[in-house]
């Protein structure tokens, strides 16, 4: 029996048990972060410990899109995530991914803020502002 991930609006059913994965923000970093090798294992660990977790992806893997397809594509590409969903569903849970109604906030990491306040960061910001004026 083949399993698929379906993207549907949520309708709560009586008697159904749910696990909710909430995506709270996207934070941009200037320092090199080691990409998360397995999103599914990281999420399973967060579920088991009942604590929030953080997943790292290189920015070049993300493409801007007006909807949440980026998030879904990253999760669907991870075989460990698909296996985790199948495992939870075999236990009787339905896995839900919750996104903020107003969109996922895009934040600057502390390292990014420090860089932008540095001499080099201010130079880059000035060059970007000059470039914007010329256009």
- Segment 85-92 long-range contacts (CB within 8 Å, at least 24 positions apart): 85/3, 85/5, 85/40, 86/3, 87/44, 88/19, 88/47, 92/17
pLDDT tens for 38-93 read 888 888 888 889 888 888 877 665 555 555 556 667 777 788 888 888 888 999 99
Please state the domain extents for the chain: 17-108
Q: How far apart are CA 109 and CA 29, in angstroms?
A: 5
Q: For the whole model, what pTM was predicted? A: 0.63
How far are the Cα atoms of 6, 43, 54, 68, 134 from residue 26, in angstroms, in the given order? Answer: 23, 16, 10, 12, 30
Nearest one of 85, 63, 66, 84 to 74, comparing CA atoms = 63
């Amino acid at each position: 029996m083949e399993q698929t991930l379906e993207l549907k609006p949520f309708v709560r059913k009586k008697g159904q048990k749910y696990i909710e994965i909430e995506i709270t923000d996207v934070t941009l970093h200037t320092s090199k972060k080691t990409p998360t090798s397995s999103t599914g294992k990281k999420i399973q660990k967060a579920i088991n410990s009942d604590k929030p977790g953080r997943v790292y992806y290189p920015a070049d893997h993300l493409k801007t899109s007006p909807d949440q397809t980026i998030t879904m594509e990253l999760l669907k590409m991870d075989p460990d995530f698909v296996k985790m969903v199948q495992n939870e569903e075999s236990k009787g849970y339905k896995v839900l991914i919750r996104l903020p109604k107003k969109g996922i906030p895009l934040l600057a990491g502390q390292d990014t803020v420090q860089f932008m306040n540095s001499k080099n960061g201010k130079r880059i910001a000035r060059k970007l502002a000059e470039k914007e004026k010329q256009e």
